[in-house]
Amino acid sequence: MTVFHAQLRALSSVSLAVGSGRVHAIIGANGAGKSTLLRSIAGLHRPAEGAVLLGGEDVTRRSPHARVDAGIALVPEGRRLFPSLTVEENILVGRRREAEGTWTAERVYDLFPWMRERRDQQTVQLSGGEQQAVAIGRALAANPRVLLLDELSLGLAPLVVRQIYGLIPELLHSGMAVLLVEQDVGQAVRTASTIQCLLEGRTTLEGRPEEFTPEQIEAAYFGLANPRATE
């Protein structure tokens, strides 16, 4: 897939596949094209070349809201909750076909028990970590087959980040595929079944995390020709 921001080539022939029950993590420095990749998959950018396939079906020409119906849900960077809606309204706003799928508001509250009591609060009254949980709940309520997570850890305390990442195995259990972008390389390596490193819109490393030494990942991250050069 190749994506342009106006004249700027944000992604050059980046390709990836993520299977059901797997976590694919995209790492890379600022401006590497990680968020652009996720936003293109969600339909917010149109790729100049390439395609987005979901279970073999081509969804490249579908609008973002139609891709949600097809099973792609993005938790956007910065959470982007609706400030004039309550916690529960945020979770339910996208759910128009109440009967479909297994993720109901109740099941989201089972995942985050504190939310049940605070469902009628405005989201501005919540802490950053709580807001992130609502954003995840909102995406889950769409019953996605692929969950896209953009920079979950941004601006959150390490303990909160660990708690949120601790939920991922439960999501995978239901057969969901998770594609995440993470600046915290350590967190990505701990969570992912595969990692992929982007640098200036190109893939510099891809594979199972245990295949690589920290030095190799660092080299791919910063674009160093020779990993030993940093030592």
Partner 1 sequence: MTWVNTVVQGILLGGLFALFACGLSLLFGTMRVINLAHGDLAVVAAFLAVEVVPVTHLPAILSFLIVLPIFLALGYAGQRTLIQTALDRGAFTVLLVTFGVSVVIENLLLELYSANSHSINIGSLVSKSIHVNAQISVAYLSLGIFLVAVAVLVGLQYFLSRSSMGRQIRAVADDQEAAQLVGIDYRHVFGVAAAIAFATVALAGLAFGMYSSFAPTSGQGPLIYAFEAVVIGGLGSLWGTLVGGIILGVAQAVGAQIDPSLQILAGNLVFLAVIAFRPEGIFKGRVAA
User: Contact positions toward partner 1, by CB under 8 A?
Assistant: 42-44, 63-66, 68-69, 73-74, 76, 80-85, 89, 92-94, 96, 138-139, 141-142
Phi, psi values for residue 18, rounded to 5°: -135, 130
Taking each helix axis from N to C end, the angle separating 158-165 and 128-140, rounded to the nearest 10 degrees, works out to: 20
Residue 180 CB, nearest distance to partner 1 (Å)?
Answer: 15
Q: First CA to last CA across the chain, in angstroms?
A: 35
Nearer to partner 1 among residue 61 and residue 65 (C-beta) = 65
Q: CA 147 → CA 95, 173, 175, distances in Å?
A: 16, 13, 11
- Minimum CB separation of residue 55 from partner 1 in Å reads 18
What minimum distance in Å lies between the beta carbon of 66 and partner 1?
8
Decide whether 10 or 205 has the Cβ nearer to partner 1. Answer: 10
**Which helix (H) or strand (E) element contains residue 220?**
helix 214-222
Spatial CB neighbours of 94, under 8 Å, sequence gap ≥ 6: 68, 138, 141, 142
Q: How far is the CB of 20 from partner 1 (least distance, A)?
A: 21
Backbone angles phi, psi at 130, to 5 degrees: -65, -40
In this complex, which beta carbon is closest to partner 1, that of residue 37 or of residue 92?
92
Q: Least distance from C-beta 127 to partner 1, angstroms? A: 19
Bridge partners of 4, per DSSP, are 9
Nearer Cβ to partner 1 (70/189): 70
Single-letter amino acid code for the residue at 35: S
Token pair recorded at residue 137: 């709940």
Q: Which is nearer to partner 1, 82 or 114 (CB)?
A: 82
